[in-house]
Homo-oligomer: A and B are copies of this chain.
Amino acid sequence: MRLFTYWRSSASYRARIALNLKGLAYHSVPVNLVRDGGEQNRPDYLSRNPQALVPTLEVDGMPLTQSLAIMEWLEETYPQPPLLPREPRERARVRAFALAIACEIAPLSNLAVRRYLNDPLGITEAAQAAWHQHWLARGLSACEAMIASGEGPFCFGTSPTMADCTLVPQLYNARRFGHDLAPYPTLLRAEAAMLALPAVQAAAPEAQADAA
């Protein structure tokens, strides 16, 4: 398997965590999103990933895209250790948490949106900072409420799930924007449990060969 990845992309980070938790070996292919107009926009990459996004997981030459779909594929193909509970309603709660990050937080601070806020919108740096804080606060508060009644230490119990694989990169991203994480003790507890795992440590942005 080959993972097309960028060290600081939170979606790539999700996929790396899931691959490592499953104990799967893969070959990393760095895609530099910022150099020379972005390697993700080159025709050979677009043929794999028409969205021009990372990650792409290539399996026997077939490209799989979208980090949450990649995690589901990993779960179906390599069931151990599981990244979803067994009971359907519990699975639904895990997926809803991951989607709350992937659909309502991450899309509003990704590279393409950050560029659009600059040009053509041309909004001030202060207004851009406020934009990011707004969506982070709104989204992370909801995520905290979604798991606050749980016993932990992970988002949904005593072992990592797709929820945790999605949470860790989102909190990494929130720190990049200087967001105060104190209001989210349950999220921080889950993050700490994840970051104690060597598999998660090996997936960290700074541990990647393409880290700048």
Contacts and interface: CB of A to CB of B under 8 A. Distances in A.
Interface in A38-76: 46, 50-53, 59, 62, 64-66, 68-70, 72-73, 76
Number of copies: 2
Contacts of A46: 145
A175 to B, nearest CB: 22
A59 to B, nearest CB: 7
A177 interface: no
Given A95-B66, A99-B68, A120-B130, A104 B73 contact: no
Nearest to A50: B145
5 contacts: A50-B145, A62-B89, A73-B88, A76-B91, A121-B131
Interface in A75-129: 76-77, 88-89, 91-93, 95-96, 99-100, 102-104, 106-108, 112-113, 116, 120-121, 123, 127
A93 to B, nearest CB: 7
Interface SS of A by simple majority: helix
Most B C-beta atoms less than 10 A away, residue of A59, A64, A104: A104
Interface of A: 46, 50-53, 59, 62, 64-66, 68-70, 72-73, 76-77, 88-89, 91-93, 95-96, 99-100, 102-104, 106-108, 112-113, 116, 120-121, 123, 127, 130-131, 134, 138-139, 141-142, 145-146
Nearest 6 CB-CB pairings of A with B: A50-B145, A69-B95, A66-B96, A107-B107, A73-B92, A66-B99
Contacts of A120: 127, 130
B50 A142 contact: yes
